[in-house]
Amino acid sequence: MKYILLYIKQTLRFVLKPLSFVPAIIMMCMIFTFSSQDGAQSSQLSFDVGTEIYTIANEKLDLGWNEAQIAHYSEVTQFYVRKAAHITEYFLLAVSVAFPLYVYGLRGIPLVLIAGLFCVSYAGLDEFHQSFVSGRSPSKRDVMIDSIGIFIGIFCVRIFGWLGRMTIFRPLSSGNE
C-alpha cells in the first residue's frame, strides 16, 4: 500500500505541477481583457453586474423593488461594485500565482514576497495599460485596492496549503521526502 500511495503522489506531482501555472495565465489574460474595455463599456458592465445583484436580491428576499429602484441602486453602488471586482480578480490572480509557487516548495515569507511582488507589479502594469485605453486612466488607488485582494489571496494559499500538508498529504509524506 505504501508504494501505491508513493506512486500516486509521484504521478500527481509529475502531471499537476506544470499545469498549475495555467490558471495564472488565464487570469492575467482575463484581467488584460477587462482593462482593454473603454470607459463606457467598463461602466456599463459594472452597472449590469449591480443590476443583476439587486434583481436577484429583490427576487430572493421579496423586497418589492421596481426596475427604476433597482437601476437607481445599481447606479449609486456602481463604484463599490467596480472596486469589489478589482479585489476579486486580483484575489483570484494571487491564488493562481501563489498556489503553483507553493506546490514547487516556496513557503512562508518568500512566497508572500515573490507572489506579492509579481501580482502587484502586474496590477501596476495593468493600470499603465489603461492609460492607453479611451475613457480610462491609471490610478494608484486601484493598485492599492488590487493589493488587498492580492495579499488576502496569498495568505489563503498559505493557510490552505498548511492545512493540506498537516491533514490530507501528511500520510503520503511520512518518511518519503
Does residue 91 lie in a domain region? yes
- Helix 78-103 / helix 67-76 crossing angle, nearest 10 deg: 60
Return the pLDDT at 103.
81
How many helices and strands, by DSSP H and E, does the chain display?
8, 0
Residue 103 inside a domain? The answer is: yes
Is 3 part of any domain?
Answer: no
Total count of domains within the chain: 1
Residue with cell 514576497: 113
Could you tell me the mean pLDDT of each successive run of 10 residues in the chain, 177 residues long?
84 80 95 92 92 93 92 93 95 96 89 96 96 91 96 95 79 55
**Within-domain flag for 150:** yes
For residue 120, being part of any structural domain is answered with yes
Residue 90 CB partners (closer than 8 Å, separation 6+):
31, 119, 123, 146, 147, 148, 149, 150, 153
Determine, yes or no, domain membership for 50. no
pLDDT for res 173: 57
Residue with cell 504521478: 11
Residue 18 pLDDT: 81
Angle at 169 between CA 166 and CA 171, to 5 degrees: 95
Residue 123 belongs to some domain of the structure: yes
The parent domain of residue 115 ranges over 21-37+80-172
User: What is residue 170's predicted lDDT score, i.e. its pLDDT?
Assistant: 67
In a domain, 114, yes or no: yes
pLDDT for the residue 177: 46
